[in-house]
Copies of this chain bind each other. A is one copy, B any other.
Amino acid sequence: MSLAITSTTIKVACSSCNLRELCMPISFGTEDMKRLDEVVATRHHVKQGELLFRDGEPFKSLFAIRTGFFKTSVSTPEGHEQVTGFQMAGEIIGLDGIVTDQHSCNAVALEDAEVCVMPFANVEELSREFPVLQRHVHKIMSREIVRENSMMLLIGNMRSEERLAAFLLNLVQRLHARGFSQSEIVLRMSREEIGSYLGMKLETVSRAFSKFSDEGIIEVKQRYVAILNAPALKKIVNPTGCV
């Protein structure tokens, strides 16, 4: 198991977690909330660069990200990596493991991270008891399906600059929902990882960054990105602007 060495284990409670409204159903009463604490068994620390789980490993738990930033990826037999997602605080990873009881992707921490370990048996048991939790689990899985649908659309139909624009807008939007700036990002991933996620090469990512920068749409300093002209970015994603 990838967790073994560096992770520490802490018993904690969802009821006192400030991320609760992101990863748990909000409509819980305080009574129910105490029962809900049973979902989370422990917490684990994952250092930057370490694997939370890897392809082929037995699946036992879902993980709710408390702090830090992850990437998930799959690989071709020849070793080509495809990043399938970037996940931040409040998001759930490990859903891929349910179908075969084995994980089918790798999850790597892109910065030091802390996750809540939710044994899937607990999740299922409490889901039977609490319809609101059941519904929540279903929604999380459905959301992931919808997200991947839109990634297929992005990779299959859009041009490189449109992809990067969509990526940046998605990222700030999610960060903003977590109380961060609406216009400034510190990227946790390399150009290569962005490229893998968006189905393009790192050089193409870099060129797109430079182009946006030249046009005054963004300011780029390494992994710091400031969005100077969000409407312009949106227009790149959706040229007709009819939405």
Contacts and interface: CB of A to CB of B under 8 A. Distances in A.
A208 interface: no
Contacts of A239: 78
A7 interface: no
B199 A104 contact: no
Nearest to A238: B77
Interface of A is mostly: helix
Contacts of A74: 149-150, 152-153
Nearest to A134: B124
Contact of A146 (B76, B99, B152, B153): B99
Interface string A126-150: 0111010011011111111110111
Q: How many copies does the complex hold?
A: 2
B149 A96 contact: yes
A199 B155 contact: yes
Interface in A59-101: 74-78, 80, 82, 84, 95-100
A137 B129 CA distance: 16
Contact of A142 (B78, B99, B150, B242): B99
A181 B125 CA distance: 41
Interface residues of A, number: 51
Nearest to A162: B76
Nearest to A144: B145
B134 A104 contact: no
A139 B199 contact: no
A53 B104 CA distance: 30
15 contacts: A77-B238, A84-B152, A95-B142, A98-B138, A99-B142, A100-B146, A104-B149, A124-B135, A124-B138, A127-B127, A137-B138, A148-B152, A151-B152, A156-B196, A156-B198
Given A76-B238, A77-B243, A152-B155, 7 more contacts: A95-B145, A99-B140, A100-B146, A124-B134, A127-B128, A127-B134, A148-B152
